[in-house]
Amino acid sequence: MRGAATSILSLSLIWLATSPLHAKSDTAKITIKGASLPSAVEITDQQIRQFSVWAGPGIRINGAEQFEGFIINWRQGAVEQIPEDLRRVEVSFYAGTADQQPIYIVPYAYNPLTGEGYVYLPGKGDESYTRNAATIVHGAQWEGHWFRATSAWETFVRPLIARARSASMSSRVHF
């Protein structure tokens, strides 16, 4: 019996030691990259802490499912379809320390004609789904759909993307 308890304790300690250090920590960095940008945008400004991936559906507080947070306007629900010709970028979220691997990745698209931004929440079968699901699962009714972005995200990200588009191709853009 003592051997089994020692084995369980040892396995528990190994699991704790190898668990990601980013578990539910603040957003440390956001990167934005895509064909429409001359170079990657790296954002480490303290303002990014408001864009936590640990928010929205799938999170319950006092038994109530949350519909606020992240960069998605959850309350408006999924968008049936977005125009195919919109420029899309990949937005990666990092937690813990900024030099770790991203913990969550979503595509973002902006429609300059309507002024609306959209976020795609990858679903099963999408490339970044497994990585995202290791961080948080929002649920099948959310994942695999496009949503309108929050006004806070739009106000924050659009000027950064505009500056990056006009920046020199010779270096990464940091904010």
- Tell me the pairing of strands 41-43 and 173-174: parallel
Higher pLDDT, 143 or 49: 143
Question: What is residue 7's predicted lDDT score, i.e. its pLDDT?
Answer: 40
Instruction: Taking residues 11-38, report their average pLDDT.
Output: 62
Question: What is residue 174's predicted lDDT score, i.e. its pLDDT?
Answer: 52
pLDDT in tens, 76-92: 999 999 999 998 999 99
Say if residue 39 is exposed, middle or buried (CB neighbours under 10 Å; 0-12, 13-18, 19+): middle
Q: How confident is the model at residue 97 (pLDDT cuts 50, 70, 90)?
A: low
CA 91 to chain centre: 6
CA 72, 150, 108: angle at the middle one, nearest 5?
A: 60
Question: What is residue 172's predicted lDDT score, i.e. its pLDDT?
Answer: 54
As a whole number of angstroms, the distance between CA 12 and CA 2 comes to: 15
State what percent of residues in the chain have pLDDT above 70. 79
As a whole number of angstroms, the distance between CA 90 and CA 106 comes to: 6
pLDDT in tens, 115-166: 899 999 999 999 999 999 999 899 888 999 999 999 999 999 999 888 888 7
Question: What is residue 73's predicted lDDT score, i.e. its pLDDT?
Answer: 94
Q: In the predicted model, what is the mean pLDDT of the chain?
A: 80
CA 29 to chain centre: 10
pLDDT in tens, 8-17: 433 333 333 3
Question: What is residue 171's predicted lDDT score, i.e. its pLDDT?
Answer: 47
